[in-house]
Amino acid sequence: MNKEVSGTYNAIDLFAGCGGLSKGFMDAGFNVIVGIDNDKDALNTFELNHKGATALQADLSKQETFDEIKKIAGDRNIDVIIAGPPCQGFSLTGPRNFDDERNKLYLAVLEMVRQYNPKGFIIENVPGMATLYKGEIKNEILKRFRAMGYNVECQILKACDYGVPQMRKRLIFMGIRKDCGMPSFPKPLFGPETERPYRTCRDAISDLPTRVDSLGEEIDKYSGEPITEYQKLMRKDCDILHNHVATAHKDFVIETIAQVPEGGNYKDLPAGVGESRKFHMAWTRLDGNAPARTVDTGHRNLFHYELNRVPTVRESARIQSFPDDFVFTGSRTKQNRQVGNAVPPILGQVLGKKMLEIFTGEK
Which residues carry out catalysis?
A: 87
CA 96 distance to own-chain centroid: 30
Residue among 114, 87, 85 at smallest CA distance from 98 = 87
- HSE-CB of 37 using CA atoms within 13 angstroms: 28
Query: Distance (Å, rounded) from C-alpha 91 to C-alpha 289?
Result: 36
3-class secondary-structure state, position 6: coil
Pairing between strand 31-37 and 54-57? parallel
Residue among 221, 187, 234 at smallest CA distance from 350 = 187
| Number of other residues whose CB lies within 10 A of the CB of residue 352 | 26
| Number of other residues whose CB lies within 10 A of the CB of residue 84 | 23
- Quickly list H helices, the chain: 20-28, 40-49, 63-73, 88-93, 104-116, 136-147, 201-205, 229-235, 251-257, 313-319, 332-341, 345-360
Query: Distance (Å, rounded) from C-alpha 12 to C-alpha 79?
Result: 8
Query: Distance (Å, rounded) from C-alpha 34 to C-alpha 42?
Result: 14
Residue among 280, 258, 180 at smallest CA distance from 269 = 258
What are φ and ψ of residue 143, in 5° steps? Answer: -60, -45
- HSE-CB of 294 using CA atoms within 13 angstroms: 16
